[in-house]
Amino acid sequence: MITVVDYGVGNLHSVAKALEKVGAQTRVTSDWHDVEKADGVVLPGVGAFKDSMDAMHRSDLAKAIKSFINSGKPFLGVCVGLQMLFSESEEFGQSKGLDVFGGKVVKFAQGQKVPHMGWNQITISKPGNPLLRGLRDGDYLYFVHSYYVVPQSKDIVATQTNYGVDFTSMVWQGNVFGTQFHPEKSQETGLKIYANFKDLVNSRL
């Protein structure tokens, strides 16, 4: 069972439908008990970092997600769900994140049109990523964001994308994955990522 976390500020239904399309059993929930008991977790996100973190703390989901990650089971954060894995964000002032990874979330430089919205290419910078099985350098995925993550460690950078600057568009360390792009909006290429995540979850059962 893959749990899609509902904290009141996400594009969760499109994520759940994409997972179901690739054959995954899914549950959309706001109950932190369900998160801790899940076989795999997807944390979606759209909107402001601080609003998302506040909502996660109000419902005890922040603690549940950190506990789930520490269990070693597969976790995937999407868009703001990726950004919340980091220490802090500068969006609307400094806000603390989940601090799973060291680093910060910053805005594209002045002069860059924001949000960065539409199709853009990925460059794979870390081989062996199970979620990228079947994908190649130069594949296009769909983005909608004005902020991006700057990890302290380059070791977790799985893909990069250029939008005026080369930014981290996917991270991966152990059981934790995060994408700045939206797989659920990325047609067949994005569905491959969700199918790979489903397979990874099933392989651990």
57 an active-site residue? no
Decide: 76 and 197 in contact? Cβ < 8 Å: yes
CA-CA distance, 105 to 94, in Å (whole number)?
Answer: 10
* Catalytic residue, candidates 57, 145, 182, 188: 182
CA-CA distance, 17 to 180, in Å (whole number)?
Answer: 19
CA-CA distance, 46 to 52, in Å (whole number)?
Answer: 8
Measured CA distances, 37 to 1, 32, 64, 203 (Å):
9, 9, 10, 17
182 an active-site residue? yes
Decide: 45 and 81 in contact? Cβ < 8 Å: yes
Among 203, 201, 202, 183, residue whose Cα is nearest residue 68:
201
* Catalytic residue, candidates 88, 91, 145, 184: 184
33 an active-site residue? no
* Catalytic residue, candidates 79, 88, 116, 145: 79
Bridge partners (DSSP) of residue 2 are: 26, 40
Active site residues: 79, 182, 184
